[in-house]
Structure 1
């Protein structure tokens, strides 16, 4: 049961992430490079951090490895809490991939179409395009309930 819920949550996270990409240009060399570097480093950096887990006789499940690596990781700042937090976060694939993709997307030059932000550039464009209104509006039955409710001022 727990595995099914975990699979569903991962699928939902991936679906939401990919749904946001449909506004950007997938064939742009800039975007292909950003996704490739993010995925490569998102797998490589946590593998490096996870090799520092303590040598115990316990056999840990794979989802506990980042937390075991956090206590003996390569980052040593002098503050045990900060060391644990940085080593734990850098041992997680999703966190590293998110950080690298965020930094690259905001630092590598590209036009608004490549970045996918042109769609949110002007509110009047969004109000004029009926397909966007359909995508971002409430379901019909829910909007009818809200329109009938006087406490919402609709």
Structure 2
């Protein structure tokens, strides 16, 4: 991204380069933009492949998040926030106009507060698409996704706080 930014700055400094960029037809620019948005949408949808969409809970959360992600910014585009303090107004209006932010926050809050069929609050790890892993003391750090470097592992200690074991080896 930095290289692209530098190229655009250089193109702006050299008017012939800027003229070449300005001569690109709008249809080509629109096509490139559409392909970029299609890639972003594909990545977003691929994140849902591990979610169990057979559960009405997950479908409801996803639908509510998408719907509110579209409606709340539309409302605040028509009815701007006016607290009387311009910097707070600008900040809130900017944040409340980002559809992905609103949808993400709504989905996060609902996923962590709406109870599932068999759980108290929120979904179980299995309903969220995570593999159910038994608590085993023989699990290596590498299996959990993070392994400190050998230099860090050399100075770790073992601490037991109220039955919770923390390993910090020396």
1:145 maps to none
After superposition, residues 36-75 of structure 1 pair within 5 angstroms as 36-52=63-79, 73-75=80-82
Q: 1:32 to 1:10 in 2, by over 3 A?
A: same
After superposition, residues 30-109 of structure 1 pair within 5 angstroms as 30-52=57-79, 73-76=80-83, 78-108=84-114, 109=122
Q: TM-score, normalised by structure 2?
A: 0.53
Q: 1:8 to 1:119 in 2, by over 3 A?
A: farther
Rg larger in 1 or in 2? 2
Q: Deviations over 1:92-123 (max 9, x none)?
A: 32221122112222332111122123379986
Q: TM-score, normalised by structure 1?
A: 0.58
Displacement of 1:125 in angstroms is: 8.1
Q: Deviations over 1:50-74 (max 9, x none)?
A: 113xxxxxxxxxxxxxxxxxxxx12
Point out the structure with the larger strand share: 2
How well do the aligned residues superpose, as a CA RMSD in angstroms? 2.6
Unaligned 5+ segments in structure 2 are 1-27, 115-121, 146-170
Residue 116 of structure 1 pairs with residue 123 of structure 2:
no
Point out the structure with the larger helix share: 1
Would you say how many aligned residue pairs link Structure 1 and Structure 2? 105
Runs of 4+ in 1 over 6 A off after TM superposition: 119-122
Tell which has more relative contact order, 1 or 2 (C-alpha 8 A, sep 6+). 1
Residue 5 of structure 1 pairs with residue 18 of structure 2:
no
